[in-house]
Structure 1
Amino acid sequence: MAQTLPFKLANPDLFKDKSYVNGKWVEAKSGKKFDVYDPGNGQVWALCPNNAAEDVDAAVEAAHAAFQKYKLVNPRTRAQLLMKWDTLIRENKEDLAQILTHETGKPLAEARGEIDYAAGFTWWFSGEAERVRGTVSQPAQPGRRHVTVKQPIGVAAALVPWNFPIAMILRKCSAAFAAGCTIVVKPSPETPLSVLTLAYLAEKAGFEPGVFNVLTTALDNTPSLSEALCTHEHVKKVTFTGSTRVGKLVAKLCAEGLKKVTLELGGNSPFIIFDDANLEQAAEALMALKWRHAGQACITANRIYVQKGIYVKFTNLIAEKTAKLKIGHGAQDGTTLGSLTTPQSVDKAFSFVEDAKKNGGRVLTGGNKVKIDDGYFFEPTIILDAHEGLLVSKEEQFSPIAAFFAFESEEEVVKAANDTSMGLASYFFTKNIDRTWRLLENLEAGQIGMNTGNMSAAEIPFGGIKMSGYGKESGKDVAIEEYLITKTGVLSLEGHY
């Protein structure tokens, strides 16, 4: 029986609530399902199959069988499939945004923005499909030629988070499909439905059965199902986005099979404002970066460093702008700050605030849970006088908390910014060109925002250093390489050249 949705879709066929394996919509072998909650009101609005480790083999075998054909598909045909998928995603943007908002809690405007950003990957990698190149070289030894060819690595497994499910799927799958790989996706228990919609649109775009497979699962089965994927003999590549703690476990599992791995892990990103910065420019960038999806982004501003001469002026400016945010269900008109995605996130945010109060931090605004229906809401919170002893300094916040630190010198703030095991992103605002180059080279992060808080795009590499992971997603050449192997051929010629 079809489920009754709390919203209306222009194309009802888009809503899928079963797993997708080998071109078929299937239930878990156990027949069990799990609840999907709307974080904006705490209500169950959908059910999905609770797949377990026993369901993995069928999905991987389907992907492996499909790979034998898909790896031979002409690159231009792969590009055309991606472009058709891209077109369908854009045509169904409003319906996708509705599903995404009710899964994640983010405002509709942000959901639309995620889809626009995410579609950049299908567009970009459709072009990359035809630009995979090998090499021919003349070695030192006479009478030989060296040749390298690039080939798809095989079946990939994608383990994706709940905060940007459409963007994460398209970033991973587009690169895999462009390279000639097939894939099995395990979406987060919080956000399975948007991923299933993408699978439906991929089918409509013409991807053959088995190329794209989705196994939904609840939290209780996530570890065992993920392990089964990572250790399956036919899975040759694993891409994971999530916490550093879980990323380490994924790396260990994949090490046993010497599988190729991409890890995009946690962040603790510094956001630095110098006294020569354009404060309005910095404030607008911080507002967009910090409050987007209620702070639930790995590259959000986690520690905000403001030079002492402008500290009071800048924090007051942010407080003034923050007061204009409207909290509410993401689907309501005018909402600019939606709910957190899980109830645990609300409790964690509250613990950060209580820790700050006890240890010298000062709450300027916010700091409280918000009661709206049974949703998972927390006030946008500004903490002043933050220091390295607070939890908000040491841990990834993933909540609507802006913690402000004061600093005096460039040398001091660079040392503080780098004083973390993470290295995903860093941001700074200054009009000093010499300082700009120094900071670009001295800040320890895989991505540096220079007078901007928005630097993610399909055209540039995305990925961290240190405990924020390894490997790159998006960008020219590097991302598609994650799904390719390089094969070397040596040809011996008669005669000398």
Structure 2
Amino acid sequence: MLPRVLKTYNRCSINNRNIMDIMYPIRNLSQLPLIKQRAYIDGEWVCAADERIFTVSNPANGEIISKVPDMDERDVELAIKAASSAFVEWKNTTAYERSRVMKKWYDLMVKHKETIAQIITLECGKPFAESKAEVNYGNSYIEYYAEEARRINGEILQSTYPTKKYFVEKQPIGVVGLISAYNFPLAMITRKLAAALAAGCTCVVKPATDTPLTALAMAELGHEAGIPKGVVNVITSSHASNPPVVDFMCKSPDIRGISFTGSVQVGKIINEKCAPYVKRVSLELGGNAPFIVFNSADVDVAVQAAIASKFRNSGQTCVAPNRFLVQDGIYDCFVDNLIVEMRKLKMGDGSQGDVKIGPMINAAQLEKVRQLVDDAISKGANCILGGKRAPLVGDLYYEPTVLTDVRETMKLYMEEIFGPVVSIVKFRTEEESLFIANQPDVGLAGYIFSSDISQIFRVSKNLEVGMVGVNEGIISAAEVPFGGVKKSGIGREGGHNGIEDYIDYKYVCIGNLRF
């Protein structure tokens, strides 16, 4: 049992029942305790060592939802020790046992999916319909890896010598640190955590500062499902505390792998910090996705895909299209139709059923979007829709925006926008579209819209990205490898490939055999 576990923690002044009743028609009020006010270490709900806290607010209206521990290196060390102790037994559980407890966890996540979606909307700001979709998507990773746990098979290799047998077995690497981003507070974690647990690793989870409540709710349900204490630990920390916390995780000799989702800049820092320790590193970093619409495309299909892929979570997704490259033959038609559909997008609090565009996650993200748009306009971009903040809706809202005449001199031409901004570039030839698409030093996702099957295969092959959507704007799934090339990261999450970051290969040679 770890010290300083407090039985009461009454610093949060928000009445959960009142907030939730106002925002959602909750049928089962007993689900409300899923909003936690403490972190989760070694199977216990704990405060920070020095009892510091920070607030979690709803970006839609600024209201405080909860207060959680602002942890430091001392707390992380406790979590790592708990995970290290738990690894001794967890690594030796059978695949069947790990699969069984993960299936129980999945069943509880499905049972409480409505409440988890409500928590996501409260802390992340995305529309409730999107939050429900994320819960289904995030839960699918738990289900998939619960099944995949029983398919982590070794090999018997053909020997050159009749007196030797060669075996290869797969073993978990040990304790792993999982650091996630705010934009998908459930799916970003389950994509990592479920794969790690299936492999036999134990975990220290560091959710994003802006969205820790979803991770804590998941931990509660994992505890109820019977995941042994210490196998999953969730630590929370403020923006100010993040650098030393992450630094400690990277440098701890007891953490054998780090999986991080976030910006290229931070990913480079984490990679550098882990290098001296030759630590396993998996990085899912930024993107600058091209969305290429050729003359042969079905414009209606392309426009609907643009709406779906660009405006999820108000454009705050790593696979959101950044640069819309539209061939000259259908350029005017595409732009006109896109604007018609964008005018239908209602901004507001995601708890309202008809809202499609929620807030930016925080003031810093809003300011980044504003600066990129203002820079483009100052350098000659034509703003034909939006282009400014929406203070009448709320402090963190930015209008859905369309910029045309976008050129290479503008910052948003090469930088990831992460907001509800469509920047459009007209092109003439397929070669020109590929040149523009491949200019950035990142390559996560790309999208192609065409009816020419030969063109589809040519362009898919030559796009410098890790994932391609063809005539489709929503491409993620639990069964497929998610990740990028160039500076978009290292490794893959999802699919059977997602196990690899948590597995060591051990070769065994048995000699002097007589047959």
Classify the TM-score, shorter chain.
over 0.9
Match of 2:451 among 420, 431, 446: 431
Shift of 1:373: 6.3
Q: Are residues 1:304 and 2:324 paired? A: yes
Written as runs of structure 1 = structure 2, the 5 A alignment for 1:150-169 is 150-169=170-189
Shift of 1:89: 0.8
Partner of 1:4: 15
Match of 1:263 among 277, 283, 293: 283
Q: Are residues 1:490 and 2:509 paired? A: yes
3-state DSSP of counterpart to 1:378: coil
Partner of 1:74: 94
What is the TM-score when the length of structure 2 is the normalising length?
A: 0.95
Partner of 1:88: 108
Shift of 1:374: 4.7
Q: Are residues 1:214 and 2:234 paired? A: yes
The runs of 5 or more residues in structure 1 that have no matched partner are none
Query: Could you tell me whether the CA contact under 8 Å between 1:53 and 1:221 is conserved in 2?
Result: no
Q: Are residues 1:59 and 2:70 paired? A: no
Partner of 1:281: 301
Per-residue CA shift, 1:305-359, capped at 9, x if unaligned? Answer: 0001111110010000000011001112311111111111111111112111111
Q: Are residues 1:421 and 2:441 paired? A: yes
The runs of 5 or more residues in structure 2 that have no matched partner are 1-9
Query: Could you tell me whether the CA contact under 8 Å between 1:272 and 1:427 is conserved in 2?
Result: yes
CA distance in 1, matches of 2:480, 2:353: 34
Partner of 1:385: 405
Shift of 1:430: 0.5
**Aligned-partner residue type, residue 20 of structure 2:** F
Partner of 1:39: 59
Per-residue CA shift, 1:131-160, capped at 9, x if unaligned? Answer: 011111122234211111111111010010
3-state DSSP of counterpart to 1:305: strand
Percent of aligned pairs sharing the same letter = 37
CA distance in 2, matches of 1:438, 1:494: 53
Partner of 2:7: none
CA distance in 2, matches of 1:316, 1:407: 17
Q: Are residues 1:248 and 2:248 paired? A: no
Written as runs of structure 1 = structure 2, the 5 A alignment for 1:234-383 is 234-372=254-392, 374-383=394-403
Shift of 1:402: 0.4
CA distance in 1, matches of 2:502, 2:76: 21
Aligned residues: CA RMSD: 1.1
Partner of 1:459: 479
> Greater CA deviation, 276-285 or 385-394?
385-394
Match of 2:223 among 185, 200, 203: 203
Shift of 1:440: 1.4
Partner of 1:172: 192
**Aligned-partner residue type, residue 312 of structure 1:** D
Shift of 1:13: 2.3
Shift of 1:372: 4.2
**Aligned-partner residue type, residue 328 of structure 1:** G
CA distance in 1, matches of 2:447, 2:158: 45
Query: Could you tell me whether the CA contact under 8 Å between 1:42 and 1:373 is conserved in 2?
Result: no
Shift of 1:471: 0.3
**Aligned-partner residue type, residue 487 of structure 1:** K
Query: Could you tell me whether the CA contact under 8 Å between 1:138 and 1:144 is conserved in 2?
Result: no
Per-residue CA shift, 1:172-198, capped at 9, x if unaligned? Answer: 110011011110011111001111000
**Aligned-partner residue type, residue 215 of structure 1:** I
Query: Could you tell me whether the CA contact under 8 Å between 1:463 and 1:469 is conserved in 2?
Result: yes
Match of 1:116 among 136, 142, 165: 136
CA distance in 2, matches of 1:147, 1:467: 36
What is the TM-score when the length of structure 1 is the normalising length?
A: 0.98
Per-residue CA shift, 1:388-435, capped at 9, x if unaligned? Answer: 221111111001100010000001100110001001011100011111
Query: Could you tell me whether the CA contact under 8 Å between 2:71 and 2:236 is conserved in 1?
Result: yes
Number of matched pairs: 495
3-state DSSP of counterpart to 1:328: coil
Structure 2 vs 1, CA of residues 312 and 208 (structure 1 numbering), >3 Å: closer, same or farther?
same
Match of 2:499 among 463, 466, 480: 480
